[in-house]
Amino acid sequence: MQNRMIALLSAVLVLVGGASLWAAGGTDNTIHIALTAPLTGDYAEYGVNFQRSVQMGIDEINAQGGVLGKKYVLSVGDSRGDPKESVSLAQKWTSDPSIVAEIGDFTSSCCLASQPIYDAAGMVQLSPTASATTFTPGSVWSFSIVGTQAYEQPFMADLAFNKLKIKRMAILFINNDWGMDTQKFFKENFEKIGGKIVAVESFFQGEKDFNAVLTKLKESKPDALYMATMYNDGALISLQRQKMGWDIPVLGPSSLYSTELTKLGGSSVNGLYTNVSFFAKDTDPRVQAYVTGFQKRFGATPNFHAALAYDAIYILTEAIRRAGSTDKQAIRDALAGIKGFQGLTGTITFTPNRDAIKGYKAVQVVNGDFKLLK
Amino acid sequence: MISISRKYRLVLQLCVGLLLIALPYLLGNQYFVRIATMIGIYVVLASSLNLIIGFTGMYSLGHGAFYGIGAYASAILSLSLHWPFWVTMPLAGLFTAMVGAFLGLATLRLRQTFLVFGTLAFGEIVRILIMNWNSLTRGPMGIPGIPVPSLFGFSFKNFSNYYYLVLVFAALVVFLIARLYRSRVGRAWVAIREDEVAASTMGVPVFGYKVLAFTISCLFTGLAGAFYGHFVRYISADQFGMNESFLILTMVALGGTGSIIGPVIGAVILMLIPELFRFLAQYRSVLYGAILILVIVVKPEGLAGVKGLFVPPSGTARFHFRKQKIDSAAEGQAGGGAA
Amino acid sequence: MFTQQLVNGITEGSLFALIAISFSLVWGLLKLVNFAMGEIYMFGAYAGWIVVSYITPNLFLALLAGFAVGWGLGWIVEKVAFKALRGVPHIASLVCTIGFSFLFKEIAAAIFGAQTKAMPSFYSSTALVVAGANVSWLQIFMVALAAAMMLLLQLLFYGTKIGLGVRAVALDYRTAGLMGIKVDRVTSIAFSLSGALAAFVGVLAAIYYNAINPYMGFVPGIKGFTAAVFGGITSIPGAILGGYLLGIIENMSVQFVSSGYKDFVSYLLLIVFLLFRPNGILGKKAKL
């Protein structure tokens, strides 16, 4: 038995060896780029939006004749939101000589885990959403366009304290890298301008029952509740808060901005404040073209994360155009030099650390609809 | 069954050895070398879990946590004290073994099925501790920038070099486990697996041997964690959750419990399937589940498992109630022999 | 606040209790764990969602649909992971159910998409106020249902022929087989029932939380399992007690310890219980 298994094992190894032979190279009139996104698993709904937006952008660019006269070819990999998978994909992309740049991943932990691979191979790793402050300073090849919480949270703290006159705030955050960063920066900035954080509670990914934490937060008698969560958890929290009969102003970061929030949360999210740098009702014709195109093709309204992925493919295209070649170093340098790029999520200028500072607009949910705050 | 002569077998083993050594050159591609390295780490994980499941008949669903403890211990030691990998790696292994021994001392008196719950709960406790103990583990932020090991100025940053490092480690662990299996200790373990009461009657200190098996298994698992952490250079709690425990368990079951080569095969297959079917994108996970079920149903003892492992030699593996054949396997499993 | 947390705990506890019964049913018969239980729960929620949003907004029809789907899935899992693998080491069945758990959630994601979907609420109006704590009709309904289910199962087990069969098989399947009980059939029915129960709870949870997604089953699956061990996995009243205790302990530990350590407290208690009372609170002494 053992012998047969050894034979089998060697056969498998030979097969793997053989497989390396067909590791193909690209042809001359195409540009290969890769997308890493969680298409399955806990973060699948965000990953699927990544894929939709990037595919849409690529189809549009190809229809207009491509970039540098070449058409895009997209390779998509599913990271399942698992850092190990993300690393494996990074290795796959960087080992493929035809791929010139990568877009992704969704979570900061996945991006951080695969960073050393892109760094060693010298390939642009452009994450639409990674907002951990430690991410982009880690490698000259890492870029992020969402804008870290270090920029967004001062805006929210200012909105809460100065405009809405909230003095005592309770925070509920999702206990992952993103949520941790978000609540930390909000807390720091809110306290710096004179506000008081009366309670901080957290929950883990996958939690559905927030009654206990909400009860505890309510006890601290805050003026308002800050939800550092994604829109789906945010909607659940709001529903349960409403059922508890706890009527209180709610605020949260831009991750709450999604038509899904109002669809899931119904009347419970009315009055909620958040901010946007991408607004689906923006009168900008490019935003409208994107939103209607997305709705027509996928039957859903794009949210902030989707728009960021769309911006990612366009800013990458701009970099390739400026570089004038598909040389990886040239693309990186061109990307780092981009200033004032007009994206759907606002003007993007990379800082020396290769993350972006965005402009933020406050919005409020009014009767199930996001309205810009004056 | 094909019987292979001793001479032929030696030649075959030599071939496999040479192939493994030449692998980075054959593959050429860093992506494949990386997969090969990860397979090496999982070979160690599956083999050490097999030490518990296959050799002593106990279950553990907490190995993902032990793996994490090893990875975190080594990463924290090397980042905060700047000790080299060659010091932190064995320390991480010893620390994991110590934790394992404590857990073993506490829970191994439980009947084996309750051990499953105990280890599962332990695994979750470790994950929650890592997530909450911010000052030590950086909580959900994970630990980036774990240094790459080097030896006398020779860096293992290159994947091919790290592959050889892991290859030596994995080969050593598999070899040690094979030796253990054939030693007096190994025979005692098998005696416990087959019939705990009988073993006890024959003078085998059952509890002590169980704790020993658990501790050794945790030692190897912790070492594997250290090798993993210094390879990927970024670790976070979500890499060592319950799914990881499930994956390692699946490797053992798929490859075959109680055999030396079984977990190796399980690790190779379960690491290759997701990579081979990447082109299926979101449908890949569906296929993964389906393959898992299919293999287990077709070959329940695992691809290289010892047939009739928990069953007396004359007994049939499958039976039907109506035929009223007596099966002592299920009973031996449920009762575990001791209260 | 204490009463509010108690109410929260009891409501969450009734969900745990009902899932715990499912685990306890399977365990009692086969001494095995079905790790796909959480995913059956999830499919139940989707079945209920389809009924409510596409056919008719009727809570009872949704619960019935969940029950039926769960019955079917439970039947499939039993046939593949348990019947086909009877007599081989337990690890094979265990891994097979892990495979099913994978398969089910990814199939659901492929069919329904990974997006979280909204589920309308029923009977969410406040029924009574106890010391400042709001209690909705749905919460009362859930607790009543858990109690009814326990009574129903006790009746089933101690008042019907099938129940007698189940008990006989649980006690000693070989002797039961010799006595002419159709062991295969009894096992199949009990297993399908456990699946149906899990899916039924899935519908309830979906209505209570107003949202469903393909990955919603993992946490309740683990919690239900923990609750079952807690209360004594060999007994159904024990499983229910375990469910309520777990619910209350978790909510209290959020209040008095920290939300980050809520699961920590329950798992630690689980280990302590395993060490000092391995058969759970109401569990019978192990029959060897």
Query: Is C173 within a domain?
Result: yes
8 A C-beta contact, residue B301 and residue B309:
yes
The residue behind tokens 């099925």 is B113
Pairing of the two strands B234-235 and B143-144: antiparallel
Q: Contact A215/C263, CB-based, under 8 Å?
A: no
For residue C44, pLDDT beyond 60: yes
At C88-145, the pLDDT tens digits run: 777 788 889 989 998 998 899 888 887 888 888 777 777 777 777 778 888 888 888 8
Q: How confident is the model at residue C196 (pLDDT cuts 50, 70, 90)?
A: very high
Chain centre distance of CA A208: 22
Mutation target vs A (from B6, B146, B231, B234; most A CBs, 10 A cutoff): B234
Q: Give the model's pLDDT for residue A25.
A: 41
Residue C43 in any domain: the answer is yes
pLDDT in tens, A232-276: 899 999 998 988 888 899 999 988 888 888 888 888 899 899 988
**For residue C52, what are the domain limits?**
10-214
Tokens of B317: 């593996």
Q: What is the pLDDT of residue C202?
A: 93
Paired sense of beta strands A99-103 and A30-37, if any: parallel
Nearest CA to CA, how far is C94 from chain B (Å)?
A: 9
* Residue C237 within any structural domain of the chain: no
C117 neighbourhood in chain A, CB within 8 Å: 264
Q: What percent of chain A has pLDDT over 70?
A: 93
Domain positions in chain B are 29-332
Cα separation of A223 and A166, whole Å? 6
- What are A97-148's pLDDT values in tens digits? 889 999 988 988 889 889 988 988 899 999 998 888 888 888 889 999 888 8
Q: What is the pLDDT of residues B301-329, one digit of tens each?
A: 778 765 544 443 333 333 333 333 334 33
Is the predicted pLDDT of residue A41 greater than 80, yes or no?
Answer: no
> Mind listing the domains of chain A with CATH numbers?
30-148+285-348 (3.40.50.2300), 150-280+361-372 (3.40.50.2300)
Region of poorest pLDDT, from A300-309, B233-242, B275-284: B275-284
**What pLDDT, in 10s, does the model give residues A3-28?**
555 555 555 555 554 444 444 444 57
The whole-number average pLDDT for the span B88-93 is 94
Residue C5 lies in a domain: no
CA C63 – CA A233 distance, rounded (Å) = 24
CA pair distance A208, A226, nearest whole angstrom: 18
DSSP string, A28-85: TTEEEEEEEE--SSTTHHHHHHHHHHHHHHHHHHHHTT-BTTBEEEEEEEE-TT-HHH
- Report the pLDDT value the prediction gives residue B3, as an integer from 0 to 100: 52
Measure in Å the smallest separation between the Cα of A229 and chain B Cα atoms. 14
**Of B33-37, B42-46, B248-252, C173-177, where does mean pLDDT reach its minimum?**
C173-177
Tell if the CB–CB gap between A245 and C126 is shorter than 8 Å. yes
User: Residue B47 — pLDDT band, cuts 50, 70, 90?
Assistant: very high
Interface test with B, best of C32, C102, C218, C233 (most B CBs within 10 A): C102
pLDDT, residue B76, reads 94
pLDDT in the model for residue B332: 37
Asked, for residue C156, whether it belongs to a domain, the answer is: yes
Answer whether A143's CB lies under 8 Å from A355's CB.
yes
The pLDDT score that the predictor gives to residue B334 is: 38
What is the residue type of A266?
G
SS3 assignment, position C121? coil
Q: So what's the ipTM on this one?
A: 0.83
Q: Which amino acid is at A121?
A: A
The Cα–Cα gap between C212 and B25 comes to 49
Band of pLDDT at residue B68, cut at 50, 70 and 90: very high
Q: A187-191, A261-265, C221-225 — which one is most confidently predicted on average?
A: A187-191
DSSP state string for C162-228: HHHHHHHHHH-HHHHHHTT--HHHHHHHHHHHHHHHHHHHHHHHHHHHTEE-TTTTHHHHHHHHHHH
Confidence of residue B4 (pLDDT cuts 50, 70, 90): low
- Beta carbons of B304 and A78 less than 8 Å apart: no
Number of domains in chain C: 1
User: Do A45 and C213 make contact, defined as CB atoms within 8 angstroms?
Assistant: yes
Q: Could you tell me the fold of the domain covering B29-332?
A: ABC transporter involved in vitamin B12 uptake, BtuC (1.10.3470)
